[in-house]
């Protein structure tokens, strides 16, 4: 009888612990001004977002991902430092803005201690989307546990089409966030356990009104999947496709090239110093990354345009002269081919 009881208790323990649900907290996931998250782009050949095994114990073996040789950075800035022509006046409630390498403009956010809430985006006077009527697009909500689902709706105005329209509107915007799988993720750089997969589906209509009648109606859908580890800021792996009226755009597939649970700390393991800052356009950049065979430095303006670059930057120090550029804010990035670090420089 005692043996039977022991066996039943052991079975109950195993079944309970094997189904323990993973939670990703807000501790490391809410972005802060000054943060930079570095990704490398990969080819989707052989990529399987669903993995193998049950939804509570998945194995996503992505160790065979092929790198495309390009990288992608997200950086977070204070909206007050953004030039007026990049839309900051259209988002007076924004507390933080996100820029993307190689892309002009910013996404604007009004985050809470547990939510990432997008207010819209602004790339130029002919490319923007501003949510109105007190609505936001909730990109993420934390803490989030396997099996949980969140939803938000938004409406707003879109950039003009210049076809004589009365207005262009964003209508029926809907975001659904679903933590649908958990398990182990293997990337080319390392293995991560206790990973939660979060699927985010956003769809909305862009309608062009003429004499009060919607004559043009585009349906936009973003279907993205994110893999989170609680100790690492921002998703480890991102995959997704944007569809316009049923026609898919090229797939996005990128991951953070890190191999330890320190996440962003590893991305910034090498310190980057800039002196003087602010400057009049001539300054010195130094890096302590002694392990790299070579370093590359880039200086970009707020629109992502590269205005200075130096390859095989081996001495640890380089003098940059951008004194011919307009006054304002610029971004300095140093890369060792795997990780990169970025800081901003102000030219007075």
pLDDT value of position 294: 63
Residue 11, pLDDT score: 35
- The answer on 118 and 251 residing in a single domain is yes
Read off the pTM: 0.73
Q: Is the pLDDT of residue 229 over 70?
A: yes
Same domain? For 281 and 246 the reply is no
**Statement to judge: residues 275 and 313 lie in one domain:** yes
Buried residues in 291-320 as b, exposed as e (16+ CB within 10 A): ebeebbbbbbbbeeeeebeeeebeeeebeb
Residue 2: pLDDT above 50?
no
Residue 174 in any domain: the answer is: yes
Q: How far out from the chain centre does Cα 39 lie?
A: 9
In a domain, 3, yes or no: no
- From 318, 324, 322, select the one nearest 296 (Cα to Cα): 318
What percent of the chain has a predicted confidence (pLDDT) above 70? 84
Out of 24-38, 63-77, 198-212, 261-275, give the one with best mean pLDDT.
198-212
Does residue 261 surpass a pLDDT of 80?
no
Q: Give the chain's domain count.
A: 2
pLDDT over threshold 90, residue 293 = no
**Residues 308, 195 share a domain:** no
CATH number for the domain including 272? 2.60.40.10
- Asked whether the predicted pLDDT for residue 268 surpasses 50, the reply is no
Residue 278 lies in a domain: yes
In a domain, 127, yes or no: yes
Of 340 and 120, the structure prediction assigns the larger pLDDT to: 120
Give the separation between CA 256 and CA 258, rounded to whole angstroms: 6
Long-range contacts of 48-51 (CB under 8 A, 24+ apart): 49/225, 49/239, 50/181, 51/181, 51/183
Together in a domain, 29 and 87? yes
Same domain for 200 and 53, yes or no, is: yes
Domain that holds residue 74: 23-261
DSSP sequence for 243-286? EETTEEPPPEEEE----STTTHHHHT-S-EEEESSSBSSEEEEE
Per-residue pLDDT at 303 exceeds 70: no
Residues 177 and 75 occupy one common structural domain: yes
- Do 236 and 289 fall within a single domain? no
Do 255 and 316 lie in one domain? The reply is no
Residue-level pLDDT at 297: 83
Q: Give a yes or no: residue 18 inside a domain.
A: no
Share of the chain above pLDDT 90, in %: 58
> What is the predicted pLDDT for the residue at 157?
97
Mean pLDDT, all residues of the chain? 85
At residue 7, the pLDDT reads 37
Last residue of a domain, one of 218, 240, 261: 261
**pLDDT reported for residue 286:** 80
Say whether both 66 and 181 belong to one domain: yes
Same domain, 252 and 284: no
Instruction: Looking at the structure, tell me whether residues 183 and 250 fall in a common domain.
Output: yes
Q: Is the pLDDT of residue 214 over 60?
A: yes
Question: Of the candidates 261, 283, 318, which is a domain's last residue?
Answer: 261
Q: Looking at per-residue confidence, does 232 or 6 come out higher?
A: 232
Residue 19 scores a pLDDT above 70: no
Any domain includes 7: no
Q: Is the pLDDT of residue 238 over 90?
A: yes
Give a yes or no: residue 36 inside a domain. Answer: yes
Question: pLDDT tens digits for 113-151?
Answer: 999 999 999 999 999 999 999 999 999 999 999 999 999
The answer to whether position 13 is within a domain reads: no
Q: How confident is the model at residue 14 (pLDDT cuts 50, 70, 90)?
A: very low
Q: How confident is the model at residue 260 (pLDDT cuts 50, 70, 90)?
A: low
Per-residue confidence at 338, pLDDT binned at 50, 70, 90? low
Mean pLDDT of 317-334: 84
Cα separation, 134 vs 160, whole angstroms: 21
Which pLDDT score is estimated for 135? 97
**Range picked from 73-77, 238-242, 262-266 for highest mean pLDDT:** 238-242
pLDDT digits (tens, 9 = 90+) for 70-109: 888 899 999 999 988 899 999 999 999 999 987 889 999 9
Instruction: Among 261, 295, 326, identify where a domain stops.
Output: 261
Q: How far apart are CA 92 and CA 122, in angstroms?
A: 13
Residue with more model confidence, 192 or 313: 192
Question: Across the strands, what pairs with 309?
Answer: 298
């Amino acid at each position: 009888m005692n043996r039977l009881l022991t066996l039943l208790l052991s079975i109950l323990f195993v079944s309970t612990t094997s189904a323990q649900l993973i939670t990703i907290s807000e501790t490391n996931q809410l972005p802060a001004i000054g943060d930079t998250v570095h990704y490398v782009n990969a080819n989707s050949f052989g990529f399987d977002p669903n993995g193998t095994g049950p939804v509570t114990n998945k194995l996503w073996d992505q160790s065979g991902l092929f790198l495309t040789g390009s990288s992608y950075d997200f950086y977070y800035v204070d909206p007050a430092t953004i030039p007026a022509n990049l839309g900051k006046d259209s988002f007076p409630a924004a507390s933080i803005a996100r820029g993307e390498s190689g892309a002009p403009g910013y996404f604007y956010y009004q985050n809470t201690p547990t939510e990432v809430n997008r207010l819209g985006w602004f790339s130029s006077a002919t490319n923007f989307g501003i949510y109105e009527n007190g609505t936001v697009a909730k990109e993420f909500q934390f803490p989030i546990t396997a099996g949980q689902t969140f939803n938000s709706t938004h409406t707003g105005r879109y950039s003009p089409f210049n076809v004589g329209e009365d207005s262009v509107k964003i209508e029926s915007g809907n975001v659904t966030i679903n933590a649908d799988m958990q398990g182990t993720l293997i990337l080319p750089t390392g293995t991560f356990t206790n990973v939660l997969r979060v699927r985010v589906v956003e769809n909305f209509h862009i309608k062009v009104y003429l004499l009060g009648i919607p004559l043009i109606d585009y349906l936009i859908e973003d279907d993205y999947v994110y893999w989170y580890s609680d100790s690492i800021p921002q998703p480890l792996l991102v995959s997704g496709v944007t569809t316009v009226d049923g026609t898919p755009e090229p797939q996005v597939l990128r991951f953070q090239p890190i191999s330890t649970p320190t996440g962003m700390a590893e991305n910034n393991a090498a310190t980057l110093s800039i002196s003087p800052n602010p400057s009049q356009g001539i300054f010195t950049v130094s890096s302590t990354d002694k392990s790299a065979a070579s370093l590359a430095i880039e200086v970009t303006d707020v629109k992502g345009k590269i205005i200075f670059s130096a390859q095989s930057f081996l001495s640890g120090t380089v003098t940059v002269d951008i004194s011919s550029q307009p006054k304002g804010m610029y971004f300095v990035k140093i890369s060792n081919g795997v990780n990169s670090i970025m800081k901003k420089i102000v030219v007075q």
